[in-house]
Amino acid sequence: MEMDDHKRRRNMILYVLIAFALYLVLNQVLFPQLTTRQQITGVSFSTMLDDLDENKVEDMDYTAGTDTQALYTLKNDSEDVAYRATVMPGSENYLAQKIDESDANVNVIIPSNDSGTWLYLLITFAPIIIFFLFGWWLNRRMKKAMGDDNPSMDFSGGFGGFGGGGLGKSGARIVASKDVGVTFKDVAGQEEAKESLKEVVDFLEKPERYEAIGAKLPRGVLLVGPPGTGKTLIAKAVAGEAGVPFFSISGSEFVEMFVGRGAAKVRDLFKQAKEKAPCIVFIDEIDTIGKKRDGGGFSGNDEREQTLNQLLTEMDGFDNAKGIVVVAATNRPDSLDPALLRPGRFDRRVPMELPDLTGRKAILEIHLRDVKTQPPIDLTAIARATPGASGADLANIINEGALRAVRMGRKLATQEDFEESVEVVIAGQQRKSTVLSDHEKQVVSYHEIGHAIVAASQKEGAPVTKITIVPRTSGALGYTMQVEQDEKFLTTKQEVLDKLAVYCGGRAAEELIFGEMTTGAANDIEQATKLARNMITRFGMSEEFGMMALGTVQNAYLNQDTSLTCAPGTAERVDEAVQKVIADAHARALQILRENKFKLHELARYLYKKETITGEEFMTLMRRENPFMPGANKPQA
């Protein structure tokens, strides 16, 4: 610390000398006339008249005004000497006569008067003042960029703040142990993750139990999982359970425009952590600074690499007996540097997966605690309708339901509000400004009923729960909702083929009834193509290729992009196989709709009239025997 103060003082002296030299240069180059000043001597009015009578005056500046004055020089005096006399009131005409009688030059300007003195002072000190103000402004901007939310006019870091005071501060948000306010009771749907982290909590609370047997606290815990699964929340819960301070910072806050500042922030972060130990240090989105380094010897971003190297050094340097645990979160674990993942740094990897049916219900219960509701509220039905939803999605669903209750003028949220909020999160709000023509409305009705009839014809398919042709802000003109009754973790080949047929049901209905295609099936085609390609390249469900992996999944927790790992000729055969699978599914959907063409017309007209129908209404009409239906009165064989 003393060395830092000495360095700051030395920098301040250096910058003051630079400013003084700059002032001298400006003074000589820009204002050379100001460096020669005349000496002014005050004389009486009578003395000035005598000098005029004796013809001694060479130059005179006669200034008339409230306090009339005259400045003049003598012929035989030095150029640096001038005389000033105050003209007696009422003597102006007499003085003018004396000047006319002499050969003095009254047009010469003597550059020295009272207003010139103030101008000289202003111009002299203006560069220094501007230099200080510019340095102070730049210091504030740099501190804000480096995470200092309350920069002050502090010149301790150098002249005008140019010494970099505060630029190496980590900017981490520190939450005291008593203010964390989150425990494991506030985390649901991640029971396995909580079990893995309870050991860390127990070590922070009772380190002597582990030290007695020679066990060491894990230096780092890496939380991996899709966005919204509660990685930040569970890190706070660890600090809350252990009753220790919580440091929180994002990986992007380390990498700045100034070279070396990222490494300085890492040093400052761990310095603060050591002072507050035991504590939890949470680094969100660590992949920002922890990406794999370039093996070619030159990095694309030297600043990021320096920051990563400093992080590795700090994690090796601190004593884990002090109770410092680094918790990091990422949804791109495959991009992290191997040196960051080795034992001794991030010793424990905790997956944070999307919650299952039980987990979703538990999460909904937590978020529903602060919402006033009107019983009964069936959270199981809401959880069943949201497969693949993260904790953040479920929190948004509860909040959207409460907002809908307020919009409807109610003081309590109902089951209907939360069911509608599920659709809002999935498909967006109802788009009331979109008005379909009668023909378009008919096309959408047949399209959605086509999906529903094909889905209802599957033995193992998920039941239809809702069909609507009300446009949504997501761009959908309608949709058919299917909800699995039970959580499924495995899918058979037949179930995949059934799902492909359901995707093709909308386009098949358009072709069967109208004899033409529309763009309404664009999303169905995209989903069907993706599923068919995965079926062949990942699931090994193709007779031609069998159990052969033809692609690898990248960004498993984000987009799950699949890249082919086969020869170009094989890739062409894969495309042909995908096309054949989808064509077979489309033909199957057409066959189902031909067999149920009467029901297709009946249900489409019913949907056209009501715009939204429930799954129960759909199945009632689907199972009802109509006397006008072809073959209805034929005897059963």
Whole-angstrom distance, CA of residue 468 vs CA of residue 452? 11
Closest CA to 592 of 463, 496, 453: 453
Classify residue 237 by burial, with Cβ atoms within 10 Å: 0-12, 13-18, 19+.
buried
Helix (H, G, I), strand (E, B) or coil at 176: coil
User: Is position 344 annotated in a ligand binding site?
Assistant: no
From 256, 305, 400, 448, the catalytic residue: 448
Task: List the beta strands (DSSP E) in 353-502.
Answer: 464-468, 479-482
Whole-angstrom distance, CA of residue 252 vs CA of residue 255? 6
N- to C-terminal Cα distance for the chain? Answer: 97
Given a contact cutoff of 8 angstroms between Cβ atoms, the answer to whether 460 and 498 are in contact is: yes
C-beta neighbour count of 167 within 10 angstroms: 21
User: Is position 228 annotated in a ligand binding site?
Assistant: yes
User: Is position 417 annotated in a ligand binding site?
Assistant: no
User: Is position 370 annotated in a ligand binding site?
Assistant: no
Whole-angstrom distance, CA of residue 298 vs CA of residue 342? 23
Contacts of 371 (CB under 8 A, 6+ apart): 398, 401, 402, 413
What's the residue count for the chain? 637
Closest CA to 495 of 522, 529, 524, 535: 535
User: Is position 220 annotated in a ligand binding site?
Assistant: no
Sheet containing strand 57-63, edge to edge, reads 39-42, 81-86, 69-74, 57-63
85 strand-pairing partners: 70
Given a contact cutoff of 8 angstroms between Cβ atoms, the answer to whether 305 and 292 are in contact is: no
User: Is position 229 annotated in a ligand binding site?
Assistant: yes
User: Is position 227 annotated in a ligand binding site?
Assistant: yes
User: Is position 367 annotated in a ligand binding site?
Assistant: no
Contacts of 483 (CB under 8 A, 6+ apart): 384, 385, 387, 462, 463, 465
Helix (H, G, I), strand (E, B) or coil at 233: helix
Whole-angstrom distance, CA of residue 290 vs CA of residue 278? 24
Active site residue 448: yes
Given a contact cutoff of 8 angstroms between Cβ atoms, the answer to whether 394 and 386 are in contact is: yes
Contacts of 400 (CB under 8 A, 6+ apart): 421, 424, 425
User: Is position 355 annotated in a ligand binding site?
Assistant: no
Sheet containing strand 612-614, edge to edge, reads 479-482, 464-468, 612-614
Contacts of 525 (CB under 8 A, 6+ apart): 503, 507
Given a contact cutoff of 8 angstroms between Cβ atoms, the answer to whether 54 and 17 are in contact is: no
- For residue 207, give both structure tokens: 């380190």
Contacts of 480 (CB under 8 A, 6+ apart): 448, 451, 452, 455, 464, 466, 467
Helix (H, G, I), strand (E, B) or coil at 166: coil
User: Is position 388 annotated in a ligand binding site?
Assistant: no
Whole-angstrom distance, CA of residue 453 vs CA of residue 469? 16
Contacts of 358 (CB under 8 A, 6+ apart): 189
User: Is position 491 annotated in a ligand binding site?
Assistant: no
Upstream peptide bond of 471 is cis (omega within 30 degrees of 0): no
List binding-site positions. 225-232, 447, 451, 524
List binding-site positions for Zn(2+). 447, 451, 524
List binding-site positions for ATP. 225-232
Q: What residues act catalytically?
A: 448
